[in-house]
Structure 1
Amino acid sequence: MTTTPRTWASGETPTGATFNAEIRDQWNSVLDAWTAYTPAWTGATSNPVYGNAVVTGRYMKVGRTCHVRIDISMGSTTTYGSGGWALSLPFTSAATGSQVGDAHVLMSARIAGHINVGGGATVGQIFFPTSGSPHTLSWASATVPVTWAAGARLTIALTYETAT
């Protein structure tokens, strides 16, 4: 609900309604509950399918800053597509800069990775380290960084600048 603040006139007497609209309602939008959304999950070659996965996506937008949390618990009917994975964002990112958030795999081990959001993007691409020294990042897929199976979890935490 964030709106552009009002321009006040010299000598103007504020009313209760004016204070509510300009102060209370603005703060309520900042302190509001997060909004649920289901991110689209795509693969570079063929798309994964959630099947009976448990998907929790939430975001909080304050001004042009968007905080996103995604948790996908893979199910027995989840399929993983082919090619690198991306998850849709609730809002298009700002046109400039690249923004990075955290990604984690919780399976037989916990593996830390990243979600990368390019300028003007509608999706974030997920990357995890591969073996070798130094570690390089590879695009997450059906077999990177693990061979995914029921019970595995992918969690995402991202804060990014939106276009509007």
Structure 2
Amino acid sequence: MTSLGISLVDALAAETRRASAADGAIRGADWRHAVVATVGTDGTITSTDGIVARRMEPYVGAEVGDIVVITVSGTGNWACWGRFASGAGSAWTSYTPTFAASGGGAALGNGLMDAEYTLTGDECSARISFVAGSTTTFGTGGLRWGLPFTAASLPNASMFWAGSAMCSDAGTAYYPGMSRILGGTAYLVGISATTAAGSTPTEWRAANPFTWATGDYASFGITYKIA
């Protein structure tokens, strides 16, 4: 009987500890790791173990699978501070941009693409490098390189974010220009200056500022506000 009594006491104590751990009002303020299962449209995330936490302002661009810090108040309200850093501590994250043309028909094929971004609040800085391969196609219309996040809307359709750009005809000629992001879009375009030899002030296309072919390359750098 004594043994049974001790077992019941142990079980009740264990259950009390579990309930206390789940109840912020009992446990008090605390923090722990969590993995994002879903990202809400209301500024919250839900963890894989069912905790709904409101995101703090710096945690923009939340993604499923992020390992984050969540904290709970003494009254049981949860907040998510943001994701943990990965790798060797660099704030830059690699991603694979899309490559397209406004009129269709563009494909990277065996070309090369290298890109990364870093976030500071809702400010995104991105770098994209592109090298055309023998099976890369350029389609029709303006060429487009994908961004890691959709840009925020702007007050007027004529407004845009601007950055740097440069392309080269297989290393034989270089064309400086600018990169442009329109509000509400998820890509940038390259635009050559009017003074660049063989170019016109329009988006880079299959034959602008030169006829793109194997070994031609482009690089972009830009900072913009994300949606």
TM-score of the superposed pair, with normalisation by structure 1: 0.75
2:163 matched to 1:105? no
Amino acid at match of 2:208: V
Corresponding residue for residue 222 of structure 2: 158
Pairwise CA distance, 1:39: 1.1
2:95 matched to 1:37? yes
Q: 1:76 to 1:136 in 2, by over 3 A?
A: closer
C-alpha contact 1:74 1:150 (8 A) present in aligned 2: yes
Pairwise CA distance, 1:3: 3.6
2:187 matched to 1:123? yes
C-alpha contact 2:161 2:180 (8 A) present in aligned 1: yes
Q: Map Cα deviations across residues 58-113 of structure 1 (whole Å, 9 max, x no partner).
A: 11112111111111111111111111111221111121241001111122211111
Q: Map Cα deviations across residues 117-164 of structure 1 (whole Å, 9 max, x no partner).
A: 1122222222113569xx85111111000111111111111111112x
Q: 1:39 to 1:153 in 2, by over 3 A?
A: same
C-alpha contact 2:200 2:209 (8 A) present in aligned 1: no
Q: How does 1:13-162 map to 2 (within 5 A)?
A: 32-96=90-154, 97-107=159-169, 108-130=172-194, 137-162=201-226
Amino acid at match of 2:190: I
Q: 1:3 to 1:128 in 2, by over 3 A?
A: same
Can you give the 5+ residue segments of structure 2 that lack an aligned partner in the other structure? 1-54, 59-70, 72-81
Distance in 2 (alpha carbons) for counterparts of 1:109 and 1:94? 35
TM-score of the superposed pair, with normalisation by structure 2: 0.56
Higher relative contact order (CA 8 A, sep 6+): 1
Distance in 1 (alpha carbons) for counterparts of 2:85 and 2:139? 41
Question: Identity over aligned residues, as a percent?
Answer: 33
Tell me how large the CA RMSD over aligned residues is. Answer: 2.9
Amino acid at match of 2:223: T
C-alpha contact 2:142 2:203 (8 A) present in aligned 1: yes
Whose radius of gyration is greater, 1 or 2?
A: 2
- How many residue pairs get matched? 145
Can you give the 5+ residue segments of structure 1 that lack an aligned partner in the other structure? 6-17, 19-24
Pairwise CA distance, 1:27: 9.4
